A and B are shown apart, each in its own frame.
Chain A
Amino acid sequence: MRFLTKNLSLPVIVTWLIYVFLLVPSLVVIPISFGTSNELVFPPQDWGLDLYRRALDPAEGWLAAAGRSMVLGILATTIALLMGVPAAYGLSRSRFPGQKALTFMLMSPIFAPTIVVALALYLYFATLGMTGTMAALAMSHAVVITPFILVTTLSGLKHLDRNIENAAMVMGATRLQIFFHVVLPALKGSVLTGGLFAFLLSFDEVIVSWFIARSDQPTLPVKMYSSIQWEISPVLSAISTFLVAITVVGSVVAAFISSAETDGI
């Protein structure tokens, strides 16, 4: 009994209640997804895999949308990594006028309301006649997720001993050799976590995609959102369960990478 009272102090109970409060709404879709009803009902009356069958039926378009989101996520993350990692390195290792302003500019998509960014991107790509293309979608997402890559890479660089780079320079390495052979391997962890995080953000993004994507070729979140508007389909619960699973796996992998990195260095 003492064991219980000792472990169930008020702060511990409150912490657990907050966890439950935060988690339950996401988890409630899981039992619903194993129901057979034609409406979103909790708890489900009959159990079955009907909803999953429908979610995986090509005719329903969910698979195509998921594939689109996957490709989009990979493209956007690649662009963001190619821009964000070198930008972070440059910003942390040099001093030049306007540096603060440039950093702020690169980070601004985090601060600006997404709807504003989305509208701006829409107007921009409309002028170029590119709305609805995968290229426009990927670039738009890259704009939104690059700041996150920048933040994780900058924090990784802060922990990197400057003298290691100095040593490499004295030993005759060029800036480029230092970046690829010294800095990048040491940043592997933060770049991977940042990339994974950025991918999840892109995969989850609704507002910008809503503006840019073609209405007959929606991304997964856009299709989910519009299907709620018209027909609150219970298939959504199956899709959501998939997404929860993917996010959990992604976060666990990210956590694993960053803890492995802290152990390694």
Chain B
Amino acid sequence: MTTNKLSLQQVSKAYGYVDALHPTDLNVAESEFVTLLGPSGSGKTTLLKIIAGMERPSGGRVFINGRDTTETPVRERDLGMVFQNYALMPHLSVFDNVAFPLKVRKTGAEEIRRKVGEALGTVQLAHLADRKPQALSGGQQQRVSIARAIVYNPSLVLMDEPLGALDKKLREQLQHEIKQLHERLGITILYVTHDQQEAMSMSDRIALMNEGRIEQLGAPRELYFSPKTAFAADFLGNSNFIEATVSEVSAAATRCRLSGGEELLAPRRDGVRQGDAVRLMVRPEHIRLIGGDGAAEDNVLTASSLGPTFFGDALEIRAQIADGSEVSVKVANNFEVAAAAPGQPLRLGWSSDHTHLFASGSGR
């Protein structure tokens, strides 16, 4: 059995009477890419600071590479870190910035030259080694900072919103590069972001954080397709919530009645009983617009269109259902817009498998 590169056991943090972080467990295996995802104030930054040693936990233990580092000073934790604002030393050249952690470790000059050369080669910046950081673009500076964090092979590399300061195009390109780097070098990465797309496209596993605790931990697909809470459903991807009351619970499914009178089917969920107020969730891309009377799906609602919005790669149609709430539907961009003009009647259909059921008032 391999040891975890990072293991948190009941780690918590309280500021006075405020619990910034409830007791939390988290394991990161070797070569794994785990993302702490959550809105600001969810505790992800507090958790990162505790792992880095910049913040003392109020309780619990932090193990890095199998060693209890709860009381270990920051510089002895064997970590690498990438910051949002690059945090490069302005008076040092690119080469010397990357060489810094090696020099601190009293590495020989020959080995420094070799390792820095390798690291800069990995991020494709070998030709800019003599420049000062200010002479580089934001994306290049962040690559230098990544090279600096991997050049000394730390047990774990922490990345604190590393792409937050970059524009969209560059962000997507660097997402791809970091992902490739991770796969090629097998480094272990703990990544922090509030951007759900970034988290989903890069991570092996996502720890979704909310109000100082991990709300759900799992692979991106698992979080997206099987959110355990309404918060998880809402935070990852787009979602439509519909209020309903459980009218019948059978072995296979839960039948729910909307205030407008329609009925919808959702998968069975333990603990949900007849008469419970629930929230049903369905993703916009799982809803189809059904022509005529064809009822090809097991969940069908009639609605009135509020008009389409063009997003380039897709078209979003907002519609109002009988109980007055709004539902958005994502369709291909070649959809005939006239059919969704405001006021047009629409039939929305989706599979009960794509319907998620949550206890009312949970999350959000």
State A164–B85 Cα separation when bound (angstroms): 9
Query: When A161-B85, A173-B75, A174-B75 are in contact, do A185 and B91 touch as well, CB less than 8 Å?
Result: yes
CB atoms of B87 and A172 under 8 A apart? no
Is there contact, CB below 8 Å, between B89 and A172?
no
Residues of B79-96 at the interface with A, using a CB-CB cut-off of 8 Å, are 79-81, 83, 85, 87-92
Q: Which of A163, A168, A265 contacts B100 (CB 8 A)?
A: A168
Cβ-neighbour of B104 out of A164, A173, A185, A264 (below 8 A): A173
Question: With A171-B80, A173-B75 in contact, is A163–B87 under 8 Å at CB?
Answer: yes
Query: Which residues of chain A are within 8 angstroms of B75 by Cβ–Cβ distance?
Result: 169-174
**Is the beta-carbon distance between B74 and A164 smaller than 8 angstroms?**
no
* Contact B80 A182, beta carbon cutoff 8 Å: no
Q: How far is the CB of A263 from chain B (nearest CB, A)?
A: 9
Decide: A166 and B90 in contact? CB cutoff 8 A.
no
The answer to whether the Cβ of B61 comes within 8 Å of any Cβ in the partner chain is no
Docked pose: A169 CA to B100 CA in angstroms: 11
CA distance A164 to B86 in the complex (A): 8
Whether B83 pairs with A163 at a CB distance below 8 angstroms is: yes
Count, chain B residues at interface, CB 8 A: 27
Does chain B have a CB within 8 A of A27? Answer: no
Beta-carbon contact of B83 and A167 below 8 Å: yes
For chain A, what secondary structure do more than half of its interface residues adopt (helix, strand, loop), or is it mixed? helix
Q: CB of A186 within 8 A of chain B?
A: yes
Contacts of B105 in A (CB 8 A): 172
Contact B148 A171 (CB under 8 A): yes
Contacts of B77 in A (CB 8 A): 170
Residue from A173, A174, A265 having most chain B Cβ neighbours under 10 A: A173
Tell whether B52 is near chain A: CB-to-CB under 8 Å: yes
The reply on B307 being an interface residue by CB < 8 A is: no
The reply to whether the CB of A177 lies closer than 8 angstroms to some CB of chain B is: yes
CB-based nearest A residue for B49: A166
Knowing A171-B148, A172-B105, A173-B75 are in contact, say whether A265-B85 is a contact too (CB < 8 A). Answer: no
With a CB–CB cut-off of 8 A, which chain A residues contact B76? 172
Contacts of B149 on A, CB cut-off 8 Å? Answer: 171
Question: B90 near A186 (CB under 8 angstroms)?
Answer: yes
Interface residues of A, count at CB 8 A: 20
A188–B92 alpha-carbon span in the complex (Å)? 13
Report A-chain residues with C-beta under 8 Å of the C-beta of B74.
Answer: 166, 169-170
Q: Determine whether the beta carbon of A264 is less than 8 Å from that of B100.
A: no
**Which residues of B in the span 45-96 have a Cβ within 8 Å of any Cβ on A?**
52, 54, 74-77, 79-81, 83, 85, 87-92
20 A-B residue contacts at CB 8 Å? A161-B87, A164-B87, A164-B88, A166-B52, A167-B83, A167-B87, A167-B145, A168-B89, A168-B104, A169-B75, A170-B74, A171-B101, A171-B149, A172-B76, A172-B101, A172-B152, A173-B100, A177-B104, A264-B90, A264-B134
**Residues of A in contact with B (beta carbons under 8 Å apart):** 161, 163-164, 166-174, 177, 181-182, 185-186, 188, 264-265
- Beyond A166-B54, A167-B145, A171-B75, 6 additional contacts (C-beta under 8 Å) are A166-B74, A167-B87, A168-B100, A171-B81, A172-B75, A265-B90
Spell out B's residues near A (CB within 8 Å): 52, 54, 74-77, 79-81, 83, 85, 87-92, 100-101, 104-105, 134, 145, 148-149, 152, 158
The 8 closest A-B pairs by CB, nearest first: A171-B101, A163-B87, A167-B87, A185-B91, A170-B81, A169-B74, A172-B75, A172-B104
